[in-house]
Amino acid sequence: MSTTAATFSPLLLSRLQFAWVIAWHILLPAFTIGTASFIALLEGLHLVTRRDIYFRLSTFWTRIFAIAFGMGVVSGIVMPFQFGTNWSRYADATANVLSPLFAYEGIMAFFLESAFLGVLLFGRKLVPRWAHFVAALMVALGTLFSAFWILAANSWMQTPDGYVVIDGRFFPADWLRIIFNPSFPYRFAHTVVGFYVTTGFVVIGVAAYYLRRGRFAEESRVMLSMTLWLLTVLVPLQIFLGDQHGLNTLQYQPAKLAAIEAHWTTGARVPLILFAVPDQATATNRDAIEIPDLGSLILTHDPNGTVRGLKDWPRDQWPPVAIPFFAFRIMVGIGLLMLALVAASWWLRVRDRLQAVWFLRLCELASPAGFVAVIAGWTTTEVGRQPWTVYGLLRTADSVSPALTGTDVMLSLAGYVLVYLLIYPVGLTMMARVVRRGPAEAPEEPIASGRPEGPVRALPVASTEDSP
């Protein structure tokens, strides 16, 4: 295929479009899933300790949660329609197996939204304290259920199980094996903990922002200290889960792992490649910086272990190498920097210097780190799955809607790019405003739309609290 034809092919453009809409969408669950659990934790602490500060913090994070959740709903509506408009052959082939998982996600998210979000956002003065805690807990559970179903579907595409193929289409044979397919437990744990860590770094970033400016000192100290304890558990746990997930990939998607590590030839005692410029055409690495034997040690937990290289597979089954190779290193690099920051916090805590200016500045700088790591990790696993939509069974090239032209998809991609580049900065500005105002109890300006519940419309929390 010539370069221009490939550039403007409906297949490549459809992939770009999907990457675009899902990358923007995933930022929101990455934050709301963590925030929902954090709010439930604060509500629980408030219930048990009766300390007013947890109440103020919970109210503050609920305000930010409401904006992010609303944007998540709006950008999420786009997602299921992509399967139909751009990936109709994939939809036709996989629907019998995957559609109930998507549908359960939709129904459960809706159920949670209609039943508990209203109480969480607007019911503080209308229901007893314990009921408000239960609502927060249910919202947190609901967001986890959404992640459960979507990641079950995604994992099935990575490591399909429990199906039969009839006339080129997948049919369900065993629902438990479809849902709990081999990579699902690892992906679910790694993703959810990753989302928690992402939120944790946002929280310490906000706390550090206030502390450096001498605002909301009490609230910020609690946020900083508490969240650093949480991250003390979560960051090492996440590194462990990542390792386990990697071993699972080695077992079920060895070609993806070879791409991640830029291993071209099969061998024992393979090095760990820290950096290189992988060249797919010649199947070699340039400018490689390697540590001997460490690759085998990490991947097989044995320095003499054999690791398969991409040349074991026909070329038309190779994923792109450079993208997962670099994305994976960005993710791991951020993970290690996060660990360093958490380790620094232990050292400072012992010396009671947690509010050292240089450390607060680091916390502020690190606040978006989780989002970068999430996108990098997602890129690693999704690009590494190529050239398949259903691993080893259905090619991405055979999944795209057959009637689409390059022009069609170019137009739609341009539309999504323009609209998202307008909406996201505005939404981010709104959240930044809530942060700047801080966790004080000062009511906002009255808002013309009085309403007790719901996501996008749920922004004016403070005002409605004053007038139930």
Q: Which residues contact 322 (CB under 8 A, 6 or more apart)?
A: 277, 278, 280
> 386, 373, 254: which is closest to 312 by C-alpha?
254
Binding of another protein at residue 250 (CB under 8 A)?
no
Binding of another protein at residue 447 (CB under 8 A)?
yes
Binding mask 152-191 for another protein (x = CB under 8 A): ------------x-x----xxx-x----------------
Residues 317/255, Cβ–Cβ less than 8 Å: yes
Binding mask 359-398 for another protein (x = CB under 8 A): ----------------------------------------
CB of 113 to another protein, least distance (A): 7
Q: How many residues does the chain have?
A: 468
Residue placing its CB nearer to another protein in the complex, 61 or 170: 170
Binding of another protein at residue 406 (CB under 8 A)?
no
Query: Per-residue DSSP letters for 179-236?
Result: HT-TTHHHHHHHHHHHHHHHHHHHHHHHHHHHHHTT-SHHHHHHHHHHHHHHHHHHHH
CB of 403 to another protein, least distance (A): 5
CB count within 10 Å of CB 1 equals 9
Which 8-state DSSP code applies to residue 271?
Answer: P
Binding of another protein at residue 403 (CB under 8 A)?
yes
Residue placing its CB nearer to another protein in the complex, 267 or 427: 427
Binding of another protein at residue 107 (CB under 8 A)?
yes
| Region of residue 413 (phi > 0: left; psi between -120 and 50: alpha; otherwise: beta) | alpha
Determine the size of the site formed for another protein (CB under 8 A).
77
Name which of residues 284 to 343 contact another protein (CB under 8 A).
Answer: none
Binding of another protein at residue 106 (CB under 8 A)?
yes
Name which of residues 21 to 80 contact another protein (CB under 8 A).
Answer: 67, 70-71, 73-78, 80
Q: Which two tokens stand for residue 418?
A: 């323009």
Binding of another protein at residue 131 (CB under 8 A)?
no
CB count within 10 Å of CB 389 equals 20
**C-alpha distances in Å from residue 9, one per residue of 257, 409, 410, 467:** 28, 9, 9, 55
Binding of another protein at residue 464 (CB under 8 A)?
yes
Binding of another protein at residue 465 (CB under 8 A)?
no
Binding of another protein at residue 96 (CB under 8 A)?
yes
CB of 341 to another protein, least distance (A): 33
**Cross-strand pairs, 289:** 275
| Member of 16, 19, 47, 115 binding another protein (CB under 8 A) | 115
